């Protein structure tokens, strides 16, 4: 294992020092096993480079959807703090940042404010707004400021056949470990651990503690309790094989795309019974999605849609949205911590008022 780890660190070190332009590196960090290993390799490589050659800035970015599984987000924030502190102590050019969705695009504003029906496989509106847009916005800002940016991802061929085909579809430039991103102009992808197996990832994490301090015991416990895997940084719908599928990856506790949230249930089964109210709310939210009495007949555009002779319902009614908010606030009390911000509640009330005004206008015109 020592040889493999040393080879990986040396490869990352060489890549950092390569190229005529010191375009910034952006590490997509989810706090899971793969992105943690990538972060460890980069940190170790930076420590092995003389200060005078540390000219390339490194950004380690995490995406907080604001509805992350509580134990996961706790681990993620602790990890970010540890990495940031370690970078300061060792005077490394490493910046830690967290991206979040804009207020208009948060899960609660869209679901309860605008009445979007709970996400499912056919209408998975959450991934783009909660994950892709915030991270892509950060990357585009770096591309604009520097001319280009290089994204480091912990993806591996060994994860699945779909992932292998996805990775192999990218065309690397000759004699380069970088490949252009399909949709982010000026962004290039670097995959430091692309050829590792899952067993090798765990062996390396177990054998080599992170250079920023501590060990990976909290990460191991997280996986064991969740009985799942990380939901990685997402840059496109194709990059999200575990987001909103029936795989047992941990991600948003509100996810109604999966039939059953096995990861959060894993937390409860391992003794964290305080998360049971979250599971109950999520199951209820999935259950009411197709209740026709809770949905408007018109789309948000005001149009009525019919498919195969049947009415396609629109968003949740304002009354249903009020019911969902009340149920969420009751869940907050049972859980003992905030699940929705005051800013989101204010935005939700404004959205309700706007929708009621539009509905009244349509009714007035129809009369």
Give the highest mean pLDDT range of 93-97, 127-131, 361-365.
93-97
Tokens of 224: 């064991």
H helices of 22-153, where? Answer: 33-47, 70-89, 107-108, 126, 133-146
Q: What is the pLDDT of residue 167?
A: 60
The domain boundary residue, chosen from 214, 249, 284: 249
Pair (120, 206) in one structural domain: yes
Cβ proximity of 66 and 100 under 8 Å? yes
**Does 76 share its domain with 193?**
yes
pLDDT reported for residue 351: 96
Rounded Cα–Cα distance for residues 367 and 357 (Å):
16
This prediction has a pTM of: 0.87
Provide the pLDDT for residue 362. 62
Asked whether residue 6 falls in the same domain as residue 114, the answer is yes
pLDDT band for position 304 (cuts 50, 70, 90)? confident
Assess whether pLDDT exceeds 70 at residue 316.
Answer: yes
- Confidence check: pLDDT of 332 > 70: yes
Whether 245 and 277 map to the same domain: the answer is: no
pLDDT beyond 70 at 123:
yes
Residues 6 or more apart in contact with residue 131 via CB below 8 angstroms: 63, 65, 233, 234, 240, 243
Q: Which residue has the tokens 């065309």?
A: 171
Of the candidates 35, 13, 54, the residue with the CA atom closest to the CA atom of residue 210? 35
Find the mean pLDDT for residues 156-169.
Answer: 64
Question: What is the span of the domain harbouring residue 217?
Answer: 2-249
Boundary of a domain, candidates 182, 216, 249: 249
Q: Distance between CA atoms of 251 and 35, rounded to whole angstroms?
A: 15
329 lies in a domain?
yes
Question: Burial code of 41-78, b = ≥16 C-beta within 10 A, e = fewer?
Answer: bbbbbbbebeeeebebbbbbbbbbbbbbbbbbbebbee
Measure Cα distances from 154 to 147, 211, 321 in Å: 24, 18, 39
Total of domains in the chain: 2
Q: Does residue 267 sit within a domain?
A: no
- Does 157 or 94 have the greater pLDDT score? 94
Work out the percent of the chain whose per-residue pLDDT is above 70: 84
Q: How far apart are CA 347 and CA 98, in angstroms?
A: 22
* Range of weakest confidence among 53-57, 159-163, 281-285: 159-163
Range of weakest confidence among 45-54, 257-266, 299-308, 325-334: 299-308
Confidence at residue 248, expressed as pLDDT on a 0 to 100 scale: 43
Kindly state whether residues 105 and 169 are assigned to the same domain.
yes
11 vs 183: which has the higher pLDDT: 11
Q: Please indicate, yes or no, whether residues 281 and 207 belong to a single structural domain of this protein.
A: no
Among candidates 312, 337, 300, which has minimal Cα distance to 122? Answer: 312
Give the pairing of strands 187-190 and 178-180: antiparallel
Cα 108 to chain centroid distance, Å, stands at 16
Q: Do the Cβ atoms of 178 and 190 come closer than 8 Å? A: yes
Cα 79 from Cα 93, distance rounded (Å)? 18
- Whether residue 24 is contained in a domain is answered as yes
Q: Is residue 364 part of a domain?
A: no
Sign, Cα dihedral of 16, 19, 20, 23: negative
Q: What is the mean pLDDT of the chain?
A: 87
The whole-number pLDDT of residue 105 equals 97
Confidence (pLDDT) at 241: 46
Instruction: Let me know whether 241 and 278 are in one domain.
Output: no
Query: Is residue 181 located within the same domain as residue 288?
Result: no
- Token pair 């375009």 is found at 23
Whether residue 12 is contained in a domain is answered as yes
pLDDT of residue 163: 56
Task: Give domain status of residue 264, yes or no.
Answer: no
CB atoms within 10 A of CB 291: 11
Within a domain: 168? yes
Report how far residue 62's alpha carbon sits from residue 15's, in angstroms, rounded to the nearest whole number. 22
pLDDT for 133 beyond 90: yes
Confidence label for 274 from pLDDT (cuts 50, 70 and 90):
very high
279 & 240 share domain: no
What six digits make up the tokens of 46? 């930076």
215-267, pLDDT tens digit by residue?
999 998 888 877 655 555 556 655 544 455 544 456 799 999 988 877 788 78
Task: Give yes or no: residues 242 and 344 share one domain.
Answer: no
Instruction: Say yes or no: 131 and 84 in one domain.
Output: yes
CATH code of 164's domain? 3.40.50.620
Q: Which residue has the tokens 């670097």?
A: 190
Same domain, 324 and 233: no
Would you give the DSSP letter of residue 15? H
User: For residue 139, is it within any domain?
Assistant: yes
């Amino acid at each position: 294992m020592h040889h493999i780890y040393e080879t990986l660190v040396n490869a990352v070190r060489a890549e950092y020092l390569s190229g005529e332009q010191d375009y910034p590196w952006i590490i997509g960090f989810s706090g899971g096993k793969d992105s943690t290993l990538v972060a460890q390799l980069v940190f170790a490589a930076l420590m092995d480079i003389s200060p005078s050659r540390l000219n390339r800035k490194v950004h380690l970015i995490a995406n907080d959807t604001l509805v992350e599984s509580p134990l996961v987000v706790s681990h993620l924030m602790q990890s970010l703090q540890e990495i940031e502190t370690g970078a300061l102590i060792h005077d490394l050019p490493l910046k830690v940042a967290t991206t979040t969705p804009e207020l208009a695009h948060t899960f609660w504003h869209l679901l309860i404010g605008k009445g979007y029906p709970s996400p499912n496989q056919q209408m998975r509106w959450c991934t783009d707004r909660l994950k892709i847009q915030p991270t892509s916005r950060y990357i585009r800002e770096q591309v604009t400021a520097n001319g280009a940016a290089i994204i480091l991802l912990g993806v591996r061929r060994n994860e699945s056949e779909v992932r292998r085909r996805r990775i192999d579809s990218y065309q690397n430039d000759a004699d380069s470990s970088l490949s252009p991103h399909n949709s982010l102009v000026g962004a290039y992808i670097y995959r430091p651990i692309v050829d590792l197996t899952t067993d090798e990832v765990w062996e390396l994490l177990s054998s080599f503690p992170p250079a920023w301090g501590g060990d990976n015991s909290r990460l191991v416990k997280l996986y064991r309790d969740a009985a799942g895997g990380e939901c990685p940084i997402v840059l496109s719908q194709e990059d999200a094989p575990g987001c909103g599928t029936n795989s047992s990856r941990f991600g948003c506790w509100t996810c109604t795309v999966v039939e059953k949230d096995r990861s959060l249930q894993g937390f409860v089964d391992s003794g964290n019974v305080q998360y049971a109210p979250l599971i109950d709310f999520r199951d209820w939210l999935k259950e009411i999605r197709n209740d026709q009495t809770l949905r408007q007949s018109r789309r948000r555009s005001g149009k009525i849609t019919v498919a195969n002779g049947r009415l396609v319902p629109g968003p949740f009614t304002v009354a249903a949205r009020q019911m969902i908010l009340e149920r969420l606030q009751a869940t907050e009390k049972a859980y003992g911590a905030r699940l929705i911000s005051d800013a989101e509640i204010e935005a939700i009330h404004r959205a309700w008022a706007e929708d009621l005004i539009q509905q009244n206008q349509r009714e007035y015109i129809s009369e």
